[in-house]
Amino acid sequence: MIGGFRNIPKIPELKRRIIFTLFMLTVFRIGCHIPTPGIDGSALSAFFSARQGTLFGLFDMFSGGALSQMSVMALGIMPYISASIILELLTVVIPHLEKLKKEGEQGRKKITQYTRYGTVLLSVIQGFGIAVGLENMTSPGGAMIVPVGGWGFRLLTVITLAAGTSFLMWLGEQITERGIGNGISLIIFAGIVARFPVAVANTFRLMGTGEVTAFFMVLILALMIGVIGVIVFVERGQRRIPVQYAKRIVGRRMYGGQSTHLPLKVNTAGVIPPIFASSIIMFPATIANFLSTEEFPWLQYVVNFLNPGHVVYSLIYVGFIIFFCYFYTAVHFNPVDVADNMKKSGGFVPGIRPGKNTAEYIDRVLTRITFAGAIYVSAVCILPNILIYQLNVPFYFGGTALLIIVGVAMDTTNQIESHMLTRHYEGFMKKGFGKAK
């Protein structure tokens, strides 16, 4: 792998792409420290410190700490992700969007345009909600987060936050087009990894005060490496369905007759299920911050049950993850379309009739491996919660964060590998298609 990295400077285009990507991510991190006008920073910091287990803490993680500082990029890239998911779900119920999805490049551009409009709309709505909410919030010490409120502050906040998200969306698209890797995923990746130095500093502080022993931290590090290894192994896991193409004779030439396979990923849904599950479960805890528990005493019991680390929370969390794994896979992968395309191309699964029977077979296989993938995602997401809240282990990266970090790193590495192999350079593996010159 070290030799593979040494070959990167030998490819000028790849070198330019990597430098461009790093520059854009640096711009993103600088923007996370530019504050929104009209907010008391110290009062806001105290407010978020007391609410790490709510939806605020989840959004703050994906924004790279920009939300807790209420910077111009406080909304992060989440509105874009939400708009993309909403449009993808709407393609199932709206024939026009489904038709655009099948039109190729032109249809994809149109859907991307709709996604941008949806991102701006969601940013405006969320920005206005945050502005109104900030006016009514106080720090644990009683200080007002917004000293001077009113419509001037609300409009300025909406424009600032919407502009920040639009700029982030543009950054992500530029990275995807002119850099290396998926721009949106890399922005989320950079936001999570930016917390790593703070986590390391806290670990050394605990070791210095004697709260945590060095042997215990070695065990935690070994466990973290083991979890990462499991994620890499499962994310690369596939169920390959054999596909045979019939022979065709055109004139004196014979076409087809080749054997291939249909790869089905074990975890087709990726990191979407834990994100959705966390958002839904943390919603009551977030609402409780705006309501008085004296007026609604029953709400306090609900919040206690849905706190991370509680048995009820863990059971509901796993249930939602399994549900969204199946739901997102059903939306993202259509066995009927795959079977029809195979039939049109003269392909068939050995022993299975083309058409309806093939679709049912693919759906049956996909259902089984999706269950295995859902159990894997649940285990990865629940294990850190058990360590943090039940055993009081200083484990700073949750399962969702680890899934994102490892998944994005693997995807980016694969793209770098592809650039190197297409130019006859050895990649990160010991044996490549060609040797470096």
In the structure encoding, which two tokens stand for residue 406, read together? 């490892």
138, exposed or middle or buried, with CB in 10 Å at 0-12, 13-18, 19+?
Answer: middle
7 Cβ contact list (under 8 Å, min separation 6): 420, 425, 426, 436
- Summary mean pLDDT of the chain: 79
Report CA torsion sign: 83, 85, 91, 97: positive
Do the Cβ atoms of 164 and 156 come closer than 8 Å?
A: no
The 10s digit of each residue's pLDDT in 295-312 is: 666 666 776 676 666 778
Q: Where does the pLDDT of residue 174 fall: very low under 50, low under 70, confident under 90, or very high at 90 and above? A: very high
Nearest to 160 by CA among 123, 129, 132: 123
**What digits encode the pLDDT tens for the residues 31-89?**
888 888 888 777 777 777 666 555 566 666 666 667 777 788 888 887 887 788 788 77
Q: d(Cα 130, Cα 128) in Å, to the nearest integer?
A: 5
Containing 336, the helix (H) or strand (E) segment is helix 335-344
Q: How many Å apart are CA 85 and CA 75, to the nearest integer?
A: 17
What is the domain partition of the chain in residue ranges? Answer: 1-195
* 143 or 339, higher pLDDT: 339
Q: Is 127 exposed, middle or buried (0-12, 13-18, 19+ CB in 10 A)?
A: buried
Q: What percent of the chain has pLDDT over 90?
A: 11
pLDDT top residue among 42 and 250: 42
Q: Examine the pLDDT at 178 and tell me if it is beyond 60.
A: yes
> 């609410």: which residue's tokens?
51
Q: Which CATH superfamily is domain 1-195 in?
A: SecY subunit domain (1.10.3370.10)
Taking the model in full, what pTM does it have?
Answer: 0.77
- Nearest CA among 7, 6, 1, 3 for reference residue 420: 7
